[in-house]
Structures are given as C-alpha cells and as structure tokens.
Chains A and B, each alone.
Chain A
Amino acid sequence: MSRNEENKKFWLSLDDLKNSLNLAKAKDNEFAPGMTDEFKPEDMPSHSRRKFLALAGASAAFAATACTDYRDKGEIIPYNKKPDDMTIGVANYYSSTCTGCANACGILIKTREGRPIKIDGNPDHPVSKGKICAAGQANILNLYDPERLKEPLSGANGKFKPADWKDIDNKIIEALNKASADNKEITIITHSVLSPSQNKLFEDFKSKYPTTKIYSYELFNDKNRQSAWKRCYGESNFPVISWSDANVILSLESDFLGNEGNFVEQIRLFAGKRNVDDAKNFNRLYVAEGGMSLTGMNSDHRLRIRPDAQFEFVMSLLNEIIFVRKDSSTVLNSEIETKIKEHKLIDFANKFKLSESVLFSLVNDLISNKGKSIVYAGDILPEVIHIAVNLLNEVLGNNALYNKERGNVKQMPLSENAEIESLINSMNSGNVAVVLHLDTNPVFHFSNDYGYATALKKVPVVVTMCENENESSMRSNYVLPIHHNFESWGDFQTRTGLYSLQQPVIAPLYNTRQKESILHQWLGGNAENYSEDGYHQYIMKNWEQNIYQMLHLASDFRSFWFAALNDGVVNYKAPIPTMQFNFTTSDKFEYKPSNGNVLMLTRNYTIGDGRFSNNGWLQELPHPVSKVTWDNYAAISLNTSRQIGVKIGDMIDINASGKKIAFPVMIQPGMADDVLSIELGYGRKFGGTIGSNVGFDGIQLMSNKNNAQMLIRDVKISKANGKYKFASTQEHHAINEPEVMGFPKQRHIIQEGTIAAYIKNPDFFKDGKPKTEDISIVNRVQYTGTKWAMAIDLNKCVGCGICVSACNVENNVPIVGKEQVLVGREMHWIRVDRYFSNSAEQPETSNQPMLCMHCDDAPCENVCPVVATNHSPDGLNQMIYNRCVGTRYCSNNCPYKVRRFNFYNFRNHLADGYYNKDSLSLMQNPEVTVRSRGVMEKCTFCVQRIMEARQEAIKNGVQLKGSEVKTACQEACPAEAITFGDAHEKDSAIDYIRNHKLGYHVLEELNIKPNVTYIARLRNKAEEVQS
C-alpha cells in the first residue's frame, strides 16, 4: 500500500475532528443529553394523565354498568362474497407504475386484504429491475395521509366550502365553454407528460376547447442537458448511458448516484462494476464538484472545483487530450480549436490549486479507456458546459457508451422559461379565463420573480387538482381532490421500446377522482353520468387502436391487455436513430468563472420538489451526506465559514438575484471554497401538519433572468443574527471512541484498502490483524441447523438510505419528529453511518449501514433482567415486546448502538397524534407488532419474512432454504450490497461471503461473534496518485 492506511484518521463531523469535549462526552454516554430527561407533563399530548385517568374511570364505570360479557371476544366478520384471487392472510402483488417523479419506475405493490402495505420495484421492469427509491418506498404514507383532501371544495381567498362534484363539473364546463367562445386562453399546467394516453387526452381536450394551451414544468429538470443535446445532435431526446460498461467515470457536479436522472438504475449499474471478485475490472470514479454530493462521497478521486469553473475544466481537458497529448483523431473546426487552445490544464490546476497528480491520472485514464469512459455533467450546469462535455465524449469516442437499445423519450417537451413568462403576461392582461393546475404547485415552484401568484388573481377561474392542500390550492376557486398513485389508471413511456402500466390496487379511500378522469368528464361536455371507469376505458381504447396495432401481435387484444397489466410492462423492439455530432460554435461558447461566491440550488434527496413534504418518513430520513433530518441549509466550506465568521447553525443572509434571504449554515467538509449549496423543496407554507414550515425556501433565490436557474453567481453572504439547531443523526449513536481518532480503523469499525494492494496480495487485509482468542465469558452455543446471517458489501453501498426507508415501511417504524431527533430518539432500525477521513478540505468518506448484528454472544441478552431479549436456536437475537419492561439495560450494553427505545407512544406523540389517525392503521404491516411506549425494539432480520418462508417450506414439504428469504433492506438495496441467508447452507452466497478474504466484523475484538459480515471497501486509486 502506498498510503499509510494505518495512520488514517476517521472522524464523524467537524466537532469530532477537533476532538470537541462535547462529543467526547456524548460518546461516553449511551443516551444523548436530553434523551433521558424527565417527561414534562405540559409537553404531553392532549391525552394528559389526568384526562387518561378520568377516561379510564369512566370506561370502567361503563363496563361495570353495562355488565358486558367478560368472556366476549368480539366478532369475526367474513366477506359476503370473497374476491376469488385472494386468501386472507396471504399477500397479493400487483405491478404498477410510480408517479412520484418523472422517472416513472415500475413498482410491485404488496397488498394484504386489499390494502397496499409495501412497495418495491417491479423485477420485470427493464429499467427498475425490482428497485425503487426511498420516496417510492415511503409513498404509501401519502396514500393513507390523514390530511388528504376528502371531498371537492369551492371558494375563494383561501376559504373553502365542501361542494358537490356535479355542481363543480357544471360550473367549470360552463367556464370552459365560455372561454372557448370568448377566445380566451384555457391554461393547463402539468408536470412532465410521460403518459401516451394522457397526451392523447390533452389533444382531445384541445380539439374540444380550442383555446387550451398545455404547459409542463419540473422544478428539477434536465432542460440544459436536453438543449445542449439538441444543439450538438439535432435531437432533444438524449440517450441512456451504459454505466455498466464504463471503466472510468468523470462526474462534473453531477449527483448521478444521488438524485439526478434515474439514479436508482444508475446506482445499480455503477455498483455492478464494483465486484470484489472481479477487482481488476472495478470502475474508477472521478468527481469534480463544488458541493459535497452522494456521488462525491463515493468517488475514488475527488477534485474540488467551483461549479462555474467547470467549463474551463472541460476545455482544459480537451486541450490536454487533443493538443498536448495529441491523442485524438476527431476533426474539429478551427473556431472550436482556437477556443480550446485558450485553456491549459496546468494553468487551470494552478488557478484552482488542484492536485496535478490526480489530473494527470485522470487524463491518462480517459485516454487509455477511450470508448469505455464517460464524462457526465450535472443537471444544474448551464447548456454550454453540457455542449463542451458532449464534445469531450465525442473526442474520446465515448459515444460507444450511449445505449443503442433504449433512449429517453419525452411525450412533450418541458415549457421554456419564455413560454411561462408569456403565459404570466397574458394572465396579467386578462387573456386567460381558466387555469387548471394538474397536480402541480406552481405558486410554490415558481420564484417570485415571475409574479405568478399575483397574476393568478387576474384569472377568473382557477382550479387546482391535488391530493393535499398546497400553496396553489389556497389561491384557487375550486380544489379538486385527486386519486393517489395506487388508486389510479395510467400508462407511461420514458424509454424507447418500453411501455409501463399503472393500475389501481385499492378502491378510492375518499370522494376523490383521478385527475385524468376529471378532464375526461369535462371533455364529454356535461356533468352527468360520471363513471370511475371512464379513463380506464379511454386508455384501453387508446391501446387497442394505437399501441396494440403497432406491436403486430398474434394474441387478441384482451389477452394482450391482461398480460400487460400482469407484467406491468410491455417491451418491444424500436429502432433508435443514430445520432451524428454536428456542433458549430457560436459566440456564446464561453463561460467564465466569477470571482464572487457562487450559489448552487440542488435537488434534495428525500422529499422531491416538495410533494413529499407531508411525509414524515421522508422528512426523518437522514440526508446521506450531512445526516440532517427535517431541514435544509446553506452548505459552505470550512474556509468560507471562517472568512465570514460563522459556525454550524449560525444564520447568514444570502443576497442573490436582488433578493435577501436568511439561511442557517452547515459547514460541510469537502465543499469548494466560495460555494454555497442549498437544497430546494423545503420551506412549504401550506404543506400540511407535517410538511409546513420545515426548512427554508430556496426557490425564491432563483431568477427568471438566468437560463441556468440553479446556478447563481456573484452572491453576497454575510453573517446574520440568530442561531438554528439541526437535528443531525450522525453523532447520536457513535460507536467510535473519543480519545483516538484512528480508532475506527484500530477497532475494526471501518476497514479499507486499495485495489492495487488487494490485487498484489489478496491476503493483505488479514495480515497483522490482532488475533482474537476464542474464549468467551458465556457458554458458547453450537448452532447446528439454520443460522441466519447477513453480509454487507461496502464496495457497493453508496449510502443512499433506501434501505432505511424500506425498513421503516416493512417494520412499522414510527416517526418521532424533529425535537425528538434532536435528543437522539429516532427509531430507525438500520442507519447508514458516515465516517470522514483525511482533512476537512479533502475528506474521504466511508459509509457503513449499521443494524442489529444478532451476535452469537449478544451482550444485550446477558443484562436483560426479564429475559425479554434472548437467542433463538437459528441464531436470531429475539426482542419480545410483551416481556420488555423498559429498563434499557440492553441498549446500554449494546456495542453497536442499534437498539431503539420507545420513549413515547410515538404515533400518539407527534403533532397531536397525527400518526395515530384511523387511516394510518390500514398502512401497518399486519405481520409486525406495532410497538407502544416503554419497550425496546431493534432489527429482527425481518423475522416475519423468515417465518413466511418457513410456512411455505412446510406447506410444500421441502427443506427451508435460507437463500430464498430476502430482508426488506436487501430487497430494496439498488446496489445489491446486502446478502442474507442461512450461513450453514452449502454453496450459498452468504456462506461464500462470510469466508471472503475481505470480510470482517465490526468490533471483532469484543469476541461477541456478530453475524453481519462487512466486505471491506477497496478504493480504486490511480497508481500515479500519491497522497
């Protein structure tokens, strides 16, 4: 090993790096300060003790007077006519499509007794391949959200009265007819149009009401990439990239593993090239970025470059490759050549103080992997950088990695900024009669610069279709409640050669209608005879007439349709037009970095464009880099923070595009200096009980004058008054010791190496490791039969947190709220620990999912006074809630800090029992106990799934095979980093990995025999780079 790995210092946060006394104290104690504080009666929920006693007394009195039969066990109510295809107690699965964002992933919905209870990716879907993102997992909470609108409303100025669908339909149809007659515009504002049938519906709507105009927008979009593609190739549908064939990836301010494009697919393909048994073919990831993204965390080499310098960077690379190394046969026109020659890589490196050895090895890698590398620019970068990147990829022959079988397809291009502005102008001049918000929230998503909210006042009829009230619905005349994803019909196309279908899996819970059905009804021109089935029939007809005809199938339409619904997808061969690079430069082929601060507005990792903000599971999911929950912030580097004299949690004033907004500061290791990064989607004003006023609204910093709206230059920042507290989970359950920062390494918490060292000597890792004596203080049990075990490959894990979300849904994990996270009471059964090493400027990151290790000699078991936690013969550390009296001794004795205590009945506690409402009980997994106050809980290795597999094995009279059991986290992990199974099953994956040369246990020297094996991370460092 060239680097001195043993002396590597690991740290959790900047406090830890400075060895702050507070964190040292925090790690000495099991519970964070405040975590075990006395309960304050005034903080108790509305059911106070006194009230409770009164209620208990009253109900006892009632019970006594009513003389109920104490032996009464209630009733069992069977169906009157049971649906044929279901058995009570056995789950049914339906394939469908998620509409949570513009990726339209294929999903598989698990229903029990007709209630959706768990979502996973559709394994038959060629893009999703059985995986979906954290929001997709938690989307189920939106279905059962107690604050969903339950009936249509009409009113004005934010005051609404319940109304009747028929009345509203009549009034709106009248308004639509009048608008058409008066030649006034009818505006439909929608998100990306992904559905062919929806598109056809729009066309039909336009022919019925000819003044209709459709606008589509996304807060987070790839418009810059698209327009760059159009200028280079004359086609705006840019191709899909074969990430799995890329040996070298250079990501420029792109979080392609975190939140850009179809990141779930990209994680899968990226991690597929990180197989330790094929170490020679590891991909190498270079990241050049100003912020600290999830992709940056997973880089092998990371360059800190401010985002507005990326153009110079790409041009310098082009210069180095074409003119210095003379390693390109691409013929360029002289204008571009001159432009390229202006940029020297050496000058660039000096200007931005970049490591020359890293740049040198980057160029070497790009040249030696021609046609097998990819340079990828981020969505927020302006068009001109995307063009330069396209050129670089052409020069390197990387167009070989553009997928030849599937390309991206858009049903309708997103509206240009100019179109939106002209819409607002005509709204202001009174030329718009009706505005329909089709499940969109432009009042929140458009920056105040546009003046959309004021323009809306000039429109006589504003209709918002939405699931929950939002900023736009508050400014409407009619608020029409719509079906959730799982109650709707739909069809989608996002790639060539692929259709996916959406089907309802539950009857509408409330008096809602699907948004397309509403339009379909208005299309008919009268309010009579609404049929829930109308849009379904419309889609079927569209398919029968168009898509089915195009496919030339032998089967009849009905059987084709039902087969398609069953699979959720229809694959067909479609030619992809070959694209020819043809770019002629213009004056604008230039982008100079500014000298001032630059502000990046990025997509957040959890709550989408704000549409998931009322989803507590997602709000509480820790940010993958900073581990902050329930918030956003302005991230800056340590140097920048020193310049303006702020600490974490201080407020700063941000002056951008002529507006001043105060934001709290997060000092993020790894940020480039003079760069601010803010995640959008937070700061909703009407986002529901959970989602309102969480975080800060950064959208207002955007300017409509700027094409790259997400990148704002010459931003002034200054210290402001005030302090803010972040609920970060990073230091809550710390398992490294305070005294020595090298301990994560010495105590075998994080073990790492390099590919080079591993290839040279596969045993390098076990060399010099302290031998543990195989003597235990307890009587060691011999496991003869099945023994459950897990392995986590840290080479594959990118730290996305999808496992956490999946576990929350599967195991009914409660949401605790920000103030409870602040005192360290979050309930997640699995967490992803993040360790930094090296300096605060150039940190290296290590992710480590941490969950119950189900130790053979579990320390928690020995100290439980009531034997509520003990060991099963198949190696599970069992936690029995009924038996638990809440001493918390087990948690105190757990070296991994994975046990969670119910300090409250959290369902009752948060926001006056928000998560204790009736509709939520439908969501709980019926196979897992819902825990109450005063009991300990922790990961069970999804014992309910083990028992289900056991039941199947007994039913079929076969031996239970461990490899057939999949835990929720394993099923959800897009990188397939998690393996689970029976360690005693011969030739199983788990058996192989447990004996892998890179396998290790965390805190192995405690000799408690944990059953989660970690595969040490190998960094694919370039040989030239000396650290």
Chain B
Amino acid sequence: MKKTVLDYALKVRLPVTVFVIILSFALTYFISRPERDGIGYAPEQPIKFSHKLHAGTMKIDCRYCHIGVEKSRFATIPTPSICMNCHTIARKDKPEIIKLTSYFNSGKAIPWKRIHRVPDYAYFNHSVHVNKGIDCKNCHGDVARMDVVSQVHSFTMGSCLNCHRNAHEKLPELARQIKNGPDNCNACHR
C-alpha cells in the first residue's frame, strides 16, 4: 500500500503535535507552579520595614511584635503603637520613621500588603502551631534574613498536609514533642 500524505500526517505529525502541546502544557504547569502559588511574591510595602534589621541584626523576638501568635488564630500585624514603643526615641529623624510617626499621630492605619494568605474557608490557627514549638521559619522562611519579606513556601492544602502527614520527617528537631497533625477535613474547614 502506498503511503499517503494523510498517513504521514496521522502517524507522525499528529502524535508529535499532540505530544508537544501536552508537554508545553505540563511544563508550563510545573514551571509556573511556584509563581501561581505566590512563591517569590515580595510587594513593596507602605513603609520600608526591614525584618533583617529588626529580627536579624537586633534579634528582636517575632512575638514582641506579632502579639497574637501564641493566643489566637491570627499572628496579627503589629499596630503602629507597638512600633512607637521604641521609635518615639529611636531614629526619629529617618524618613521612614517620620512616615510611621505621621501614620501614628494621624490615627490612620498602615495599609500593609498581604504576603501570606490561606483562603477564608480554611481556618488556620497560629497558636496551636506555635504553642507546639513549631518555628515560624517552617512556613514563613527565614524572615530574619529578608530586607523585603517575600513568600518562600507555598500555602496550598497540599503543603499543609505534606507536613501534617510527615511531621517527623519535616520537623526532625521536634520529633519527640509532636505527632502528625490532624488530616481530617474539619481540622481546617468548618
């Protein structure tokens, strides 16, 4: 039987095309995944606050500012009044501190850009994790080295479960203290 153009198209061109399309989809899917999950997201903040300086160089404990983290679901973003504990005296003349002081004095809230977010239907609770001894770093990365905070890990259900199901592997230093986290739906969704 004589090979026709159609045969060639069906046997070679079509599979190759389909393969290339699927491959490009798959590649795009996997390559863009961190991007889609928000990894590397580092928006410009209204005040150029440096975690590297405060948490890194000066070694201020995270909990000094994020006061809710041991008590509540929310870690809470510090209010300007907490900043002013030091900055009523410290570095008053720097432009960013002047900006901060003006926010504080005018009674306006600072519109910080949100970096980490779990969706509304997931009821993540900071206090249960922190009170179990899990370090902030495990989810938020080494913030103490970041001048501008960016997202390091993905905040999808998969990443939550990854740790909840393999706690000892993921957090070897806490192997004695913690068990696997709950992986039933109601643990987060209600």
Contacts and interface: CB of A to CB of B under 8 A. Distances in A.
Interface in A879-895: 880-883
A951 interface: yes
Contacts of B78: 78
B24 interface: no
A879 to B, nearest CB: 8
A869 to B, nearest CB: 9
Nearest to B132: A954
A75 interface: yes
Interface string B102-143: 011001111111110100110101011001100000000000
A881 B189 contact: yes
Contacts of A75: 111-114
A505 B143 CA distance: 38
Given A882-B121, A947-B125, A76 B114 contact: yes
A883 B157 CA distance: 13
Interface in A920-978: 927-929, 940, 943-944, 947, 950-951, 954-955, 957
B110 A78 contact: yes
A89 B68 contact: yes
B71 interface: yes
B186 interface: yes
Interface string A72-103: 11111111111000011110000000000000
B15 to A, nearest CB: 34
Contacts of B108: 80
Contacts of B103: 80
Given A89-B68, A90-B71, A880 B123 contact: no
B114 A89 contact: no
Given A78-B112, A873-B184, A878-B186, A951 B68 contact: no
Contacts of B113: 72-73, 75-76
B105 to A, nearest CB: 9
A947 to B, nearest CB: 7
Contacts of A880: 185, 189
A40 interface: no
B80 A72 contact: no
B190 interface: yes
A873 B186 CA distance: 10
A76 B38 CA distance: 17
B109 A89 contact: no
B146 interface: no
A951 B132 CA distance: 10
B18 to A, nearest CB: 29
Given A75-B113, A927-B190, A954-B131, A80 B125 contact: no
Contacts of B67: 87
Nearest to A69: B43
A207 interface: no
Contact of B70 (A870, A955, A957): A955
Interface residues of B, number: 44
A876 interface: yes
Contact of B186 (A72, A87, A943, A951): A943
A872 B184 contact: yes
B190 A882 contact: no
Contact of A81 (B43, B79, B123, B125): B79
B76 A88 contact: yes
Given A77-B109, A947-B190, A954-B128, A878 B185 contact: yes
B182 interface: yes
B109 A79 contact: yes
Contacts of A947: 123, 125, 186-187, 190
A494 to B, nearest CB: 38
A860 B76 CA distance: 39
A880 B110 CA distance: 35
A71 interface: yes
Contact of A74 (B72, B81, B114, B186): B114
A72 B190 contact: no
A872 B182 CA distance: 9
A872 B183 CA distance: 9
Given A80-B80, A928-B190, A878 B184 contact: yes
Contacts of B128: 950-951, 954-955
B33 interface: no
B114 A73 contact: yes
A1000 to B, nearest CB: 27
A909 to B, nearest CB: 21
Contacts of A876: 184, 186
Nearest to B37: A71
A77 B112 contact: yes
A954 B127 contact: yes
B98 interface: no
B61 to A, nearest CB: 17
A67 to B, nearest CB: 15
A71 B42 CA distance: 10
A907 to B, nearest CB: 16
B59 interface: no
B49 interface: no
Interface in B62-114: 67-68, 70-74, 76-81, 103-104, 107-114
A944 B112 CA distance: 29
A927 B185 CA distance: 15
Nearest to A89: B72
Given A79-B109, A881-B121, A927-B123, A90 B186 contact: no
A80 B79 contact: yes
A71 B190 contact: no
Contacts of A957: 131
Contact of A955 (B76, B104, B127, B189): B127
Contacts of B131: 954-955, 957
B68 A80 contact: no
Contacts of B109: 77-80
A87 B110 contact: no
Nearest to A950: B128
A86 to B, nearest CB: 10
Interface in A842-899: 870-874, 876, 878, 880-883
Given A89-B68, A872-B185, 6 more contacts: A78-B80, A80-B80, A87-B68, A89-B71, A89-B73, A954-B128
Interface of A: 69, 71-82, 87-90, 870-874, 876, 878, 880-883, 927-929, 940, 943-944, 947, 950-951, 954-955, 957
18 contacts: A73-B113, A73-B117, A75-B111, A78-B80, A80-B80, A80-B81, A81-B79, A82-B81, A88-B68, A872-B187, A876-B186, A878-B184, A882-B121, A928-B190, A929-B190, A940-B186, A955-B70, A957-B131
Interface of B: 35, 38, 41, 43, 67-68, 70-74, 76-81, 103-104, 107-115, 117, 120-121, 123, 125, 127-128, 131-132, 182, 184-187, 189-190
